[in-house]
Amino acid sequence: MQPIIRYCLIILFSISCGESVARDFGGINLKEVIRLSPELNPIRLNGATIKRKASHDIYVGGLYLENKTHNLEDILTDEGPKRVLFYCKASSISPEIMIRNIDQGMVINNPPEIISSLEKEIKIFHQIWKDHPINHGDELWIDYIPTTGTRVSVNGQVISQIPGKTFYQAFLRAWLGEYPVNPKLKKAMLSLNG
């Protein structure tokens, strides 16, 4: 058997067995396919990129969905599991800066009545950043689990949960809405680059 055919068969077999190929983002490997729990359908890397500032890598951000899409409305109406992932490449990420950026993104991209209704949930989310500083090498998962809501984990350890789907949708709009926290990251997460 020719080496290239053998290689292709190995890759296809690995994918069919649930093992996922990884993609490299500045030395960080993100799996193409993951599961948030055994009973949930697998989700796939929709898009990802590296956030840079003054030529320094700050973090890798990625979005996982059941079905690939370029459209925020498709994501919001999809009831399946989702993951927004951040991998810290800087020495640390300032909690104050993250809170400010996410708050601005949520306020600009969500109706005022949604923000008012989420006051308690937003406070919980602020406290997560304050209680769990994100340092170099840390991986943050912000998952949507159907029937549960938002689940936040650092380095694979669950640190908080926010019930319902309204908060997660508002959070997604902050990153993927008309005026996103990071336009480059939005384009990458929605696979709109090129």
106-143 residue pLDDT tens: 999 999 999 999 999 999 999 999 999 899 999 999 99
| pLDDT confidence band for 18 (50 / 70 / 90) | very low
**pLDDT attached to residue 103:** 95
Alpha-carbon distance of 151 to 149, in angstroms, equals: 7
Give tens-digit pLDDT for 43-77. Answer: 999 999 988 888 788 889 999 999 999 999 999 99
More confident residue, 125 or 5: 125
Q: Which two tokens stand for residue 4?
A: 């290239």
pLDDT at 1: 54
Place of tokens 């079905």: 67
Measured between alpha carbons, how far is 154 from 138 in angstroms, rounded to an integer? 7
Q: What is the pLDDT of residues 78-108, one digit of tens each?
A: 999 999 999 999 999 889 988 999 999 999 9
Q: Is the pLDDT of residue 15 over 80?
A: no
Residue 14 in this model has a pLDDT that exceeds 50: no
Mean model confidence pLDDT for the chain: 88
Q: Mean of the pLDDT values across residues 24-28?
A: 82
pLDDT score of 20: 53
HEC sequence for 79-146: CCCEEEEEEECCCEECHHHHHHHHHHHHHHHCCHHHHHHCHHHHHHHHHHHHHCCEECCCEEEEEEEC
Q: What is the DSSP string of 139-194?
A: EEEEEEETTTEEEEEETTEEEEEEESSHHHHHHHHHHHSSS-S-HHHHHHHTT---
Segment 148-172 shows an average pLDDT of 96
